[in-house]
Structure 1
Amino acid sequence: MSGTAVGRDSVVGVARRSLAEGRQVLVEGPAGIGKTVVLRSLLDAATGDGWLTLRCAPTEAERALPFAALADVLAPLADRMPALSPPQRAALAGVLLTGEVTGPVDERAVGVATGALLDVAAADPAWPRVLVAVDDAPWLDPPSERALRFALRRVAPRVAVLVTARADRPGAAPAPLGLDQRPTGGRLERVALGPLGVGALHHVLRAETGKVLPRPLLIRIAAESGGNPLLAVELARAVLRMPRLPAPGADLPAAPSLRQLVAERVATLPPPTRQAIRLAALSGLPTLAGLARAGVAAADLDAAEEAGLVAVTGELVGFTHPVYAAAVRAEVPPGVRHRLHRLLADTAGDPDERARQLARCASAPDPAAAAEIAATAERQRQRGAPETAAGLYDAAARLTPPEAAEHARWRLAAVQCRFDSGDYPAAKATAELAAEQLTGPARAEALLLRAVVAWSSDEPGEAAESAAERALAVVPAGSTLAGRVHAHLAVFRDAPDPARRHAERAAALLAESPDDRPVHAAALLLLLLNEVRAGLPARTELLEQALAQEGEEPSWLAGTVPAIWWKSLDEHGRARERLHRMLDRAAARGDEPSQHELLCHLGETELLAGRWADAAGHLAAARELGEQYGADLAGVAWMEGLLLAYRGRLTEASAVAEEGLRRAAELDDRWRRRIHAQLAGFAALTGGRLPEAARHYGELAAIVDEMGLVEPLAQRFEPDWLEACVGAGDLATAEAVLERLTVRHRRLARPWTTLGLARSRVLLAGALGRDASDALAELAAARATVPPDVLPLDRARCLLVAGVAHRRARRRRAARAALSAAAAEFDALGAAALAARARAEAERTGGRSAAPAQLTGTELEVARLAAAGGTNRSIADTLFISPKTVEANLARVYRKLGVASRAELGAVMARGAGVDG
């Protein structure tokens, strides 16, 4: 409809204020209520205020055109493309047609580049604000919808958003583009459009029909239309087509629906005009030239344009309201529709449009048509429109005899496209149907796809394993397809022995297949991982072979395995570098599931490395991403709980563990039970609830043993279990745990096992009443071998254990030194509960434990021992640090206290300078 937003002053005012305040605005209401008119009014106001407005108005027919809507939105920013990075420019080249498209369109990369381009616009001082407006958002083509959803979530609130959507019950359905989700959900203003009153309808009808209707008739039209302006206009036009206006009390020419009213109006048009608008309604993107090839003269559209049904703008032919196009399509009889689709296919100038029309009209087997349709499907997939490609592949398969090889290939391609689009229910259904109807290797491929869908969605883990096992049962033995199935089963199987056997078979079958290098690399990585988990010696050459096979692109099936391996060895730097490299690639593609997984791994890496602020940042980002796309957040919650426990917030950490264990019992999920039992044990141990801690660690060990995890790489719990058993008085179990840890260290020595074993021996020696001197010396040596930036929490806990052992042996000075140093290191980390425990233990020595005003805890203890005449070696042995660390601390002490020798240091320490806080 033309004209201004008559009768909508209040809603326009609310929407304008919300946009100015940085809120997102959704205008919603039933068809014909005037959403587009309100949107145009708001756009005019924003333009008048100097805002940059980026807009699109997608239609139903354009849903099959990938990135059509996004191209409209970004077109005004084409001259800003040089500000983007080369990968971002390449991603948008196929969307804006600003450069050569050299490969498939990665729609995730398009989303990232869209956000970057909007950031460039938002940073330009020439515009007070940037406004993205989408009229009729449900008709967005899926690739555009995903790119805008991804980008708008990240540029808010710098970019304002205005969207309209059809809704019979405003507020009931989720908002388009995820505007009601984090982080934009808290700033969404939903504006519901209600019916117009009689006064407003008077102005609308006069503008649309050029007539002033009698007020009694106007009141009746308002009542019959329910205040819907479009329906009121159609009713008024129907009344004006009558020979005379109806008398008061006479029936109006009402119809059951707006669509039927439009159909009745279309029926009054001349036959050539009806033919012309039918062809326009069935076309993907109707133009005068395209319609002319189908036999439509430009003059044939005149009557429809005069009736307000269509608008011709340059070469483009469009309907003035989506309801008009839908009504025209609905009234075309099936036989006529079939002929019109064939006519459009035969006269199409674009091969993709021809293929779309062929898919709608062909019914009997037609290999030539099927090949055309499949070629278009592949182009659509390359352009980032997997949903459209899936439908076209379905049509190509339908037109191909079942015995033809192409039939199976195209059906499988349709399943893969649905999976790529994220439509897991559709991918599951079509994969299962293909598995039922196909035979031979094609059936195995369908079952493997079914397994991948199950693994990637919320289905139980056994669903993926079952489908893959069925695939293995029908796959040709010794084939590369069998190798791919085995590689996937090595991922799906959590038990190390069967996973190892599958990985071994996959590596052998894929070794000579150049096309399967990424999967072969994954098989090698999974073989290394599961051999170690099964208790076999680590064949690190498998890792080197896999990394060489990967090249620059990490294996998608097992790309995190190298980082998992390096984390288990406490090589945090290598793990961090690998994960950040993968995260950068995932972010460039906009691959949110991969980003979520990698952020979780980074969070765990930084927890171990003692970089807890970095860990918290990674976990917060992982949680936000997971909430946005619906990921399982069990791993995030577990690590957040660990961070709470490390920081001394033990009640909260215990609550996280309790909820995780409850959920694990509901789902019968052993992985959840393992991680949350470990968290529950650590929270109880730190809080002094030692029998409870011992129970949780015992349950964790039982699960690990039941699964055959001889080496559970990620779970390092034996030292804490032993400490809990000692505290609970269960020394028999503590001795068994020590033996278990000793075997684990002998099999694969790592910094954490070195420290944990030494700490455990001191604890057990003290509990058994033995002389702990040798164990303490071993502990000092172990701590000296581990650099301060590797496992800082474990290193500080070694000092705590040593301090307690010294105190029990009545070596008060050594005890105070170790405990004060432990408290200082706990403080530096932010481990509040452990720092408090160290200070409490120090107070039990009966000496001063006040912290210095100028010196750190370690510096103070080094200074005291040096002033008392201790050598660097004796100080190192007492404090469980290396001689080089003693030298470095002494240098800082000299600088802070302004002294140059040990003699001067002794005098200063005797006076108490730098000692009393």
Structure 2
Amino acid sequence: MNEASPAARVVGRQGELAGLHRFVDGLRRSFAADATRVVFVEGPAGIGKSMLWLVGCEMALGRGVRVLRSRPAETEAGYAYAALADLLREAWPEAKRVLPRQHLHALSVALGIADDAAMNIDQAIVQTATANLLLSMSTEQPLLVAIDDAQWIDAPSAAVVQFVGRRSARRQLGFLVTQRSEAESTVPFELDRAIPDAPVERLWLEPLSLGALHKLLDDRLGLTLPRRQLLRLHELSGGVPFHALEIARALRRMPAIPPGAELPIPASIHDLLRARTGRLDPRQHEALLLVAAAGNLALTTLRAAGGDPAAVSAAVDDGLLAIDGDILRPGHPLIASTIYDTTKAARRAAHARLAGVTDEPEARARHRALATIGADEAVAAELEDAGRRTLERAAPERAAELFRLALDRTPPAGHQARDRRALALADALYRAADLPAAGAILDTLVPRLPPGALLAEALIIRSEVHWYTATSFDAVADVEAGLVAAGDDPRLLAELHYRLSIFADFDLHRALDHARSAVALLEQHDPKGLLASALMIEFITSVMLGDEPLIARLERALALEPKNPTDATTIPGIWWAAIDRLDEARRRFEWMLELDRNSGHLSGEASLLTRLAEVEIFADHYHVARDWADAATAAARQQGDESADPARRVRALVDAHVGLHAEAWATAQEGTRRAEARGDHVIAAAWLVVLGTVAAARGDHAEVLDVADRSAAQLAAIGMVEPLRLGVDHEQLEALAALGRLDRARELLDELEGRQARVPRPWLEAALVRARALLRLAEGDLAGAIAETDVVLGPAGPSWRRLDRARTLLVRGIILRRARRPREAGAALDEASAIFEAIGAHGWLERARAEAGRLGRRRPGSEALTPSEQQVAELAAMGLTNRAVADRLSLSPKTVEAHLARVYAKLGIRSRAELGRLMGPRADAID
């Protein structure tokens, strides 16, 4: 399947795609008694039924199944046999070949192919002829009858399909049918009763998730929306792909939309909805307008606002309103938008009536604002208070709308109030992860503010925005300006030094000085609970500068940390991940993610998802890491960070571990170039870790040394002595030993052993074992080299990650082969290969198998295929393309190619034809 294929365009339907895979695969074989014979896809208009139908047809064609298609239209529902004519159009040559003359003539007349005015169409003959034709075709080749939008099929055609269903038992004939419905309905053509022995797979399509909607917009339109707009689009469209795409297309044609403003509704959707709402009488329209203006409304409040509860019943019956106990809601967000899109005077009147009867302060303030024309300080002040209360309740998007309304209602002379409210709006937008909008407001606000607390607070927020969207230098410049603006305010000075300790990552000595200044101030005055985080930053920065880890300082910080801190830090998780305490690291990042989501503070979500991805890489859970990395990239793009470098870097690191070396290398090369151009040493060093990982897995020792030199330069530039997991010197050590550069290798070994003594960590211990073994090998001490790797013998062994154990076994196998102990070498290499394959480290797997191939062992037969190779071989033997095999097994096409190359080598064959002959007897038995 290519990128333009229907399957490549389906988003968020993994379960449904799996159901289609199972169904279509069944068409390749004689049906078992309980095999699925019918797939019924249903759901509301625009939900994506037709796209799945196209995917099912494409899957069937790709697996050698004949497909007959019909797509009835509403305009043809009154024409007899219109759908049947569509269905049999491509089968007519077979009809002329297999049908008796009488049946062929009757069918040709029914379908309008022949004109015989004297002949009355006998429905029984048409049904029998069609059934005989399709059943005959299914004996030659598996056959799929695919009908899209079955609700529009004409009655005579429907009767034919029902008849065919009853005759299709035990044949390689299946049905794929879609139907529009608002709730689960009966199976079309009574196929569930027509084929009683076979279950029907019903696929009810639910609305897309928020993440799936983000991917849909990116894939189809190349559009990334700020999170607040994405949330509103999801709400407004109800997760229906068609509606979401139409609204997004209209949105793309418009200038920027301010916070709280409504998204555009395209005319194509408006026309459909107005046709439904245009029949309302004035009392019903009034009631719906009050509900739309409120979002949801109690019947008692509707009555108090002058609405007529008696007018509600018909709207509920028509689906325009929904009622839950005493609460009225719009039947669909698009209906509310259409009703609300009335005259401005009518909207203002509705809000004025609601403001007079609403007890909830935030809602009353909003209604007063929307009922008011022009500036009104009393209304603006009420809105500002409501916005602050809403922000405290972890609803930054809603708070941003209230602050925007407050700004709009602020009188021109109220400069101080206007600036204060603009800052509140920027803060709410920052918390809601709409970084571009927050930055735009701050860029306008900061230049006009005089020195003082308000300017310092504005610069703190802008530094946070720059930290995510620009560079450390930009963030530090903001905070340094804030130090000048803050004067002698100890609260602000403490927070500013604290921010500098984070942002000055380009100079660790400077960062440590600011961390110590922050701690000293916060020990005296800590209203925000920042002392714990400042102590953690002081701890990790001193470690990276080469000091002994002061664990007592970290433990004190953790003890001081509030239960719900306002500014939790990732430092404990980073530390635990560095020393392989991965469960604790994972819990820390998950806790922070939950904390931020519960508080509505979403600007750090992408960073936390990236950290979780790193933990899963270190745990050898590469599929989980990939999912976290993809989620991090999506979150970064939603908050306006188009580069999303940390998330993309960790995704490239996943690729490097699973053997997608070309992709990882290209991405990391470009990322390194960008970081070096910006002078961003930390990000450059992080990208170089990806390059070092790829070079090491390839066995390219010279490239490892080049990358290590570049990495060392980046780390030295910021004063980093202990990079934790940010360096590649452990890979450099192995490369030096392998290349025979023994003096430099011994120097680096001494350095790394010193670091390991200061900060013990299993992954570095494993690297040191391998390096010492390779050094002894280079020195000709085979016995000593083997002894170094004895640590991995036995079922228990050291508490290393699986990748480190397998890499050490690989080194042991190489040494044993050099020592001419092939049996022991083979055992070590086989165990290494098994681990590499189990965790999905395919690049290292190739290295291990290449080493095993040098042992000169007898080529194994087909029974020596690994489970993954066996699966790929069997599917390829069935005639599936590499892409089809990849889709079936959730692999990349390149991984499939690699598996097949190994299969060919193991089986001693050179072509798919030989593979098919060799595995043919087993291919039909694949489940």
TM range (shorter): 0.5 to 0.7
Cα 1:821–1:585 shift into 2, 3 Å: farther
Which of 158, 161, 166 in structure 1 is aligned with 2:240?
161
Task: Quote how far apart the aligned CAs of 1:720 are.
Answer: 1.7
Moved more, 143-152 or 651-660: 143-152
1:375 to 369, 378, 385: 385
* Aligned equivalent of 1:550: 561
What is the CA deviation profile of residues 438-471 of structure 1, one whole-angstrom value per residue up to 9, with x for unaligned ones?
A: 4411211111111122224x33333222212211
- 2:191 maps to what in 1? none
Distance 1:417 1:646, change over 3 A: closer
CA 1:618–1:556 in structure 2 vs 1: closer, same or farther (change >3 Å)? Answer: farther
Offset from partner CA, 1:315-357 (integer Å, 9 cap, x none): 999999978976632899xxxx9x9999997898775565346
State the Cα distance separating 1:729 from its structure 2 match: 4.8
Question: Distance between the aligned counterparts of 1:405 and 1:689, measured in 2?
Answer: 63
* Structure 1 letter corresponding to 2:516: E
Distance, in Å, in 2 between the alignment partners of 1:422 and 1:751 is: 37
Determine the structure 2 residue equivalent to 1:563: 573
Match of 1:46 in 2: 182
The correspondence of residues 584-663 of structure 1 with structure 2, limited to 5 A, is: 596-609=606-619, 612=620, 614-624=621-631, 626-627=633-634, 630=637, 632-663=643-674
Match of 1:419 among 424, 430, 433: 430
Tell me the amino acid that sits aligned with residue 46 of structure 1.
Answer: E
Q: CA deviation at 1:721?
A: 0.9
Q: CA–CA distance in 1 between the matches of 2:597 and 2:406?
A: 35
C-alpha distance in structure 1 between counterparts of 2:416 and 2:182, whole Å: 57
Separation in 2, partners of 1:322, 1:572: 48
After superposition, the Cα gap between the structure-2 partners of 1:766 and 1:366, relative to the gap in structure 1 and judged at 3 Å, is same
Structure 1 SS opposite 2:344: helix
Query: 5 Å matches for 1:409-558?
Result: 409-439=420-450, 440-456=452-468, 458-477=469-488, 479-495=490-506, 496-513=508-525, 515-517=527-529, 519-553=530-564, 555=565, 557-558=567-568
Could you tell me how far apart the structure 2 residues matched to 1:622 and 1:835 are? 23
Structure 1 segments unaligned to the other structure (5+ residues): 1-12, 26-40, 52-124, 154-159, 177-189, 196-226, 235-268, 302-309, 857-917
Q: Deviations over 1:53-85 (max 9, x none)?
A: xxxxxxxxxxxxxxxxxxxxxxxxxxxxxxxxx
Distance (Å, rounded) in 2 between the aligned partners of 1:43 and 1:357: 42
* C-alpha displacement of 1:705: 1.4
Task: Name 1:686's counterpart in structure 2.
Answer: 697
Measure the CA separation in 2 of the matches of 1:282 and 1:839.
Answer: 66
Any conservation in 1 of the 2:733–2:748 contact (CA below 8 Å)?
yes
The 3 A distance-change label for structure 1 pair 600 and 829 is farther
What's the counterpart of residue 820 of structure 1?
827
CA contact (8 A) 1:366 1:399 kept: yes
Query: 2: distance between equivalents of 1:23 and 1:45?
Result: 16
Q: Counterparts of 1:588 and 1:151 in 2: how far apart (Å)?
A: 23
Seen in structure 2, the aligned counterparts of structure 1 residues 755 and 284 have a Cα distance that, compared at 3 Å, is closer
- Structure 1 pair 130–564 and aligned structure 2 pair: CA distance change class (3 A): same
1:666-686 deviations in whole A, cap 9, x for unaligned? Answer: 655434432333332332333
1:223-259 CA-to-partner distances (Å, cap 9, x unmatched) read: xxxx99989x99xxxxxxxxxxxxxxxxxxxxxxxxx
Question: Which residue is 2:344 aligned to?
Answer: 329
Q: In structure 2, what is the equivalent of residue 702 of structure 1?
A: 713
The correspondence for 1:389, drawn from 375, 396, 399, is 399
- Does the CA-based 8 Å contact 2:830-2:852 persist in structure 1? no
Q: Please report how far the alpha carbon of residue 505 of structure 1 lies from its aligned counterpart in structure 2 after TM superposition.
A: 1.8
- How far the C-alpha of 1:849 sits from its partner, in A, is 11
> Secondary structure of 1:515's match?
coil
Residues in 1 aligned to 2:714 and 2:227: alpha-carbon distance in whole angstroms: 44
TM-score (norm 1): 0.56
Take 1:778 and 1:280, find their aligned partners in 2: how far apart are those partners?
A: 79
Task: Quote the Cα distance in structure 1 between the aligned partners of 2:784 and 2:208.
Answer: 74
3-state DSSP of counterpart to 2:343: helix
Contact 1:820 1:838 in 2 (8 A): no
Shift of 1:583: 5.0
Decide whether the 8 Å contact of 2:366 with 2:383 is kept in 1: yes
Q: Give the deviation of 1:692 after TM superposition.
A: 2.3
How many pairs were matched up? 641
The SS at the match of 2:528 is helix
Distance 1:634 1:194, change over 3 A: closer
Local SS of the residue matching 2:546 = coil
Query: Alpha-carbon deviation of 1:412?
Result: 3.1
What are the residue-to-residue correspondences of 1:763-774 with 2, within 5 Å? 763-767=774-778, 769=779, 771=781
- Cα distance between partner residues in 1 of 2:386 and 2:359: 14
User: Is the alpha carbon distance of 1:834 and 1:385 closer, same or farther for their aligned partners in structure 2, counting shifts above 3 Å?
Assistant: closer
Partner of 2:759: 748
> What is the CA distance between 1:559 and its match in structure 2?
3.3
Structure 2 alignment gaps of length 5 or more? 1-41, 55-151, 153-177, 188-199, 214-225, 255-264, 312-319, 867-927
Deviations 1:576-595 (A, max 9, x none): 34344445556777877655
1:637-661 CA-partner distances (Å, limit 9, x unpaired):
4444444444445444434444444
* Contact residue 809 and residue 831 of structure 2 kept, 8 A: no
User: Is the 1:525–1:562 Cα contact (8 Å) retained in structure 2?
Assistant: yes
Match of 2:231 in 1: 146
Bigger drift between 798-807 and 589-598 goes to 589-598
C-alpha distance in structure 1 between counterparts of 2:607 and 2:803, whole Å: 25
Deviates more, 1:401-410 or 1:463-472: 401-410
Could you tell me whether the CA contact under 8 Å between 1:280 and 1:291 is conserved in 2? yes
CA–CA distance in structure 2, aligned partners of residues 752 and 320 of structure 1? 58
- Contact 2:809 2:832 (8 Å CA) reproduced: no
Distance 2:180 2:628 in 1: 38
Q: CA deviation at 1:825?
A: 2.8
The structure-2 alpha-carbon separation of the partners of 1:557 and 1:684, relative to structure 1 and needing over 3 Å to count, comes to same
- Distance change in 2, residues 1:851/1:593 (3 Å): farther
CA contact (8 A) 1:490 1:500 kept: yes
| 2:671 and 2:687 in contact (8 A); partners too | yes
State the distance in 2 between where 1:853 and 1:356 align.
Answer: 72
Q: Deviations over 1:259-300 (max 9, x none)?
A: xxxxxxxxxx9xxx9xx99x9999868999999999x999xx
Distance 1:133 1:676 in 2: 34
Tell me: CA distance 1:844–1:392, structure 2 relative to 1, closer, same or farther (3 Å): closer
Please list the CA deviations of residues 174-212 of structure 1 after superposition, one character each: whole Å capped at 9, or x if unmatched: 699xxxxxxxxxxxxx999499xxxxxxxxxxxxxxxxx
Distance 1:778 1:289, change over 3 A: closer
Distance 1:370 1:731, change over 3 A: same
Q: CA RMSD in A?
A: 6.0
* 2:773 alignment partner in structure 1: 762
